[in-house]
Structure 1
């Protein structure tokens, strides 16, 4: 019992890291947001001022900016939920042999760099792109769908749809299959079975998916910058501009804190609404809502049952299309003999863009920086997450659940605020190398995912083998090396691969911290896709896709991809 209480100390290194690399930057942003002056070299005032917040809330531009960003996040979350249900249901119905391939359709886009996916959406919606070509084939006039809210929304749905699918899959896979069979036996059709059985039981997963997608979509700026062509302004873009270009850190910080407050408020509203719709979770008496009269209800059910066999495959096909087809377009564009990356028409086959990438010392240097950063990040994240996983699984101390929530907190807060805060800390403490600042933030972003994977691996360890080894005289170190580590090896390898892909492709926060002498490859292609449109960006992007696919094949050999996520 005493050992299980002391197990909580294993999480201490991770907690200390979060305090230094997560809480400190967030605290710096909070401090900057309450400064009276916006001057860059103005001394810090410890007396809080609401001047920056008053400027933002008193300006119609900023109010409209926050409102538009909020609506965009809600629209992306809603559209993602609509497309995610057919995908998640499809995954639950796949055979065990086919399920890893189905998960590959979800995980390859999820782990591919966001810049790569945005380039695919540009090729899809370009004036001479696939959508425009289909419209002309149907006799419609050519239309440019880029550089507007619709394009940005489609891009963000493509980026964040996998998170919604996986959140719904968890609860749909755990549902009792006999409930749907019983409903079918009572005469319910596919639409009514979904609405009366599947959907209500999936609401806890929907809450998690809506919350996660909204938080990420409302703070995203990379896709909005590329696909919106700087004609669509979201809050993250303005935070980046105010902090990086204008150097107005107090205003940028206040805007970031307002983003945080809005995200928390919407999260609470989502939780409240889902809570009202799931009274059985809290053992409450359900409310009786007014319903339709019998005749209109029967007509509505008949229409829904007639449409269900058509709507389900259409939404499923649309979900798979939006996830995978943009990546295919990027691969095709990488061998297109066109000088511009956004030209969707195929002008001829060539390998010259790959040659230009592989012989360019800037790309190779940036790739080496990204590789070093990702390897260091994974090593540190593993050292922090593995002891924390043992603490959360085997500890029996007060506050364990609160500790687990705190360790996962970086997933729920805007990365922009962390990046802005770390940037300011590096300017205050300029003796710290920029590489260490970027590394610290990458570890904060990657470790929660690795912790979730490792926590499941630790929970599945056979305690009997450890007790038997201890009874035969093995020391704790020998038990760990000879008994525990072999069992954990596949889970550790999977966690490291996922962490490596996430760190190697990270751009949203890294863009705040890179310098002229420290540039990562994802930030390089983001900058080139923003200011120049040479086709080398598609070649680099295709290499990103191929590396992601190769590493997922390796993961599947260690552990089927569907089991990876269930962990």
Structure 2
């Protein structure tokens, strides 16, 4: 297992899978988007046409939805930034024994099904919900904050805030603490230390967080559908409606490609803006320096220093509340003796909703499908990601980092386009079972996460043990089985648990591919939440939350949760 150019071939299975289950669906979407006709049974034409794009750009509704989606994504990215900084700084300053608990605050919502988190926001903002109750306590009239842009923005911020927190934690935890101490020694208060030291050095992490948060928020549609109540339309909802209900695949594909193009443009703009603000990375001199007159600067600094502790504590409490409180509301609602899942007022205690869930054969059948799908996804992802991790760590060839970026590409492109493309491929190639299509896409979505975890595990292997075993005459297969695999055991276990949770709870792409005979439990919850909100939905959702917590406790036994992310 020494460094060798030939080790790069270990990434071949991973690359082939991406070609079949990622590149092919994207190619199908691109081809559909340039079709002249929108008829479902019209023959495919290889002559590109801009008819679908012309129809989209010529219709005010589509243009308005597209622009609103871009602004929504930018707003969610901005809100996540304000909430993520105090939370990420709090994580870096926790004592080691409490860091796993702090990370659980971030990872439990991150790995919990998006439908569950959206239901929590509904309970929070419902007419008799917590927010309305607080307003009435202060003498304000009853309010219903659901079914508007604020509700959708809050729901998406709750869903994608963990990604921003983890992106910032990476760079904040690696900063040299002596720089902040030196600034404090020179008389800088908390506000100036943040603005002059912490913020500038964390901009590379902020770039990653902004990019990921915008990409995901601008293509999300599950939370917008549930919390927006069909009064708020985003591009993902239009793609789903045009592709699944109207069967206008060319128009849906064109809108998906426009979303992809917007994602690329915004990503480039974010990169250039951060690059402009961090000239020291490339050795350039700053192009401008903001300077205020001393008479104005001193009072502003004094106000900032006085407000900084209060504002930071408020934002930290708000961030933790946004992440955790909606999940607690779902758990409380699951034992509420009310037939409606969105009634926040507690009527009485009951376990009957859990009994109805456990007696419902549809739920049990769909849960078994989800388990089988997640287990198969983890097995295949491990089989292709583990060799690829050795290729990225030990292969000595030029372009290794480019290969690593290419293998992580599914995380940077809209999953909704992959789902639409795979749906069309399954309709063209009817011999392929629907389960295989869903499985192929799940592996594309889960394998990059497992690759990132396994790559760090492989990089941490002690090569002297391998060299000693080889020197004693052990063949490579025996060295792998007896020396390498035991060292990788905890990392493999952690990657498999995280991969299982990601696959089991996936909705956004899976909703395109399920059929009447192949339904996963998260998609079932999403469908029922869209049309009828019985309280059994909260009971299933609480089971999801408890399963996530239990599996993270299991992960923590193999490896502390803070080390899981750092790996």
Which residue number in structure 2 is paired with residue 64 of structure 1? 64
Q: Does residue 408 of the first structure (1) align with residue 408 of the second (2)? A: yes
Which residue number in structure 1 is paired with residue 186 of structure 2? 186
Partner Cα separation in structure 2 for residue 521 and residue 383 of structure 1? 26
- Map 1:298-337; keep pairs closer than 5 Å: 298-337=298-337
Residue ranges of structure 1 left out of the alignment (5+ in a row): none
Report how far residue 386 of structure 1 moved.
Answer: 0.2
Which residue number in structure 1 is paired with residue 447 of structure 2? 447
Which residue number in structure 2 is paired with residue 368 of structure 1? 368
Which residue number in structure 1 is paired with residue 171 of structure 2? 171
Which residue number in structure 1 is paired with residue 241 of structure 2? 241
Partner Cα separation in structure 2 for residue 294 and residue 508 of structure 1? 53
Report how far residue 298 of structure 1 moved.
Answer: 1.2
Which residue number in structure 2 is paired with residue 358 of structure 1? 358
Report how far residue 285 of structure 1 moved.
Answer: 1.1
Encode CA deviations 1:488-528: one digit per residue, 9 max, x unaligned.
Answer: 00000000000000000000000000000000000000000
Encode CA deviations 1:416-439: one digit per residue, 9 max, x unaligned.
Answer: 000000000000001100000000
Partner Cα separation in structure 1 for residue 27 and residue 468 of structure 2? 48
Report how far residue 57 of structure 1 moved.
Answer: 1.0
Q: Does residue 534 of the first structure (1) align with residue 539 of the second (2)? A: no
Encode CA deviations 1:41-78: one digit per residue, 9 max, x unaligned.
Answer: 00000000000011111111111111100000000000
TM-score (norm 1): 0.99
Which residue number in structure 1 is paired with residue 488 of structure 2? 488
Which residue number in structure 2 is paired with residue 271 of structure 1? 271
- Map 1:421-460; keep pairs closer than 5 Å: 421-460=421-460
Number of aligned residue pairs: give it: 567
Partner Cα separation in structure 2 for residue 415 and residue 545 of structure 1? 24
Encode CA deviations 1:318-355: one digit per residue, 9 max, x unaligned.
Answer: 00000000000000000000000000000000000000
Q: Secondary structure of the residue that 1:486 maps to in structure 2? A: helix
Report how far residue 209 of structure 1 moved.
Answer: 0.1
- Map 1:511-530; keep pairs closer than 5 Å: 511-530=511-530
Q: Does residue 229 of the first structure (1) align with residue 229 of the second (2)? A: yes
Report how far residue 400 of structure 1 moved.
Answer: 1.0
Partner Cα separation in structure 1 for residue 352 and residue 160 of structure 2? 33
Partner Cα separation in structure 1 for residue 490 and residue 295 of structure 2? 58
Encode CA deviations 1:12-57: one digit per residue, 9 max, x unaligned.
Answer: 0000000000000000000000000000000000000000011111
Which residue number in structure 1 is paired with residue 385 of structure 2? 385
Q: Secondary structure of the residue that 2:391 maps to in structure 1? A: helix
Partner Cα separation in structure 1 for residue 151 and residue 38 of structure 2? 34
Report how far residue 292 of structure 1 moved.
Answer: 1.8
Which residue number in structure 2 is paired with residue 104 of structure 1? 104
Which residue number in structure 1 is paired with residue 556 of structure 2? 556
Partner Cα separation in structure 2 for residue 563 and residue 539 of structure 1? 32
Partner Cα separation in structure 2 for residue 308 and residue 384 of structure 1? 48
Partner Cα separation in structure 2 for residue 405 and residue 455 of structure 1? 13
Which residue number in structure 1 is paired with residue 116 of structure 2? 116
Report how far residue 398 of structure 1 moved.
Answer: 2.1
Q: Secondary structure of the residue that 2:516 maps to in structure 1? A: coil
How large is the Cα RMSD of the aligned pairs?
A: 0.8
Which residue number in structure 2 is paired with residue 258 of structure 1? 258
Which residue number in structure 2 is paired with residue 89 of structure 1? 89
Report how far residue 289 of structure 1 moved.
Answer: 3.0
Q: For the Cα contact (< 8 Å) 2:25–2:418, is it kept in 1?
A: yes
Partner Cα separation in structure 2 for residue 3 and residue 426 of structure 1? 41
Partner Cα separation in structure 2 for residue 72 and residue 135 of structure 1? 26
Partner Cα separation in structure 2 for residue 29 and residue 428 of structure 1? 13
Q: Does residue 162 of the first structure (1) align with residue 162 of the second (2)? A: yes
Partner Cα separation in structure 1 for residue 3 and residue 299 of structure 2? 64
Q: Does residue 464 of the first structure (1) align with residue 464 of the second (2)? A: yes
Q: For the Cα contact (< 8 Å) 2:3–2:394, is it kept in 1?
A: no
Partner Cα separation in structure 1 for residue 281 and residue 178 of structure 2? 20
Report how far residue 299 of structure 1 moved.
Answer: 1.4
Q: For the Cα contact (< 8 Å) 2:3–2:396, is it kept in 1?
A: no
Q: Does residue 76 of the first structure (1) align with residue 76 of the second (2)? A: yes
Partner Cα separation in structure 2 for residue 290 and residue 200 of structure 1? 14
Which residue number in structure 1 is paired with residue 17 of structure 2? 17
Report how far residue 288 of structure 1 moved.
Answer: 2.2
Encode CA deviations 1:94-119: one digit per residue, 9 max, x unaligned.
Answer: 00000000000000000000000000
Report how far residue 230 of structure 1 moved.
Answer: 0.7
Given the superposition, is the C-alpha separation of residues 201 and 3 from structure 1 closer, same or farther in structure 2, using an over 3 Å criterion?
Answer: closer
Partner Cα separation in structure 1 for residue 357 and residue 2 of structure 2? 58
Which residue number in structure 1 is paired with residue 210 of structure 2? 210
- Which aligned runs of 4 or more in structure 1 are off by greater than 4 angstroms? none
Partner Cα separation in structure 2 for residue 279 and residue 19 of structure 1? 37
Encode CA deviations 1:208-239: one digit per residue, 9 max, x unaligned.
Answer: 00000000000000000000001000000000
- Map 1:335-350; keep pairs closer than 5 Å: 335-350=335-350
Partner Cα separation in structure 1 for residue 263 and residue 295 of structure 2? 42
Return 292-301 or 5-14, whichever deviates more.
292-301
Partner Cα separation in structure 2 for residue 45 and residue 309 of structure 1? 62
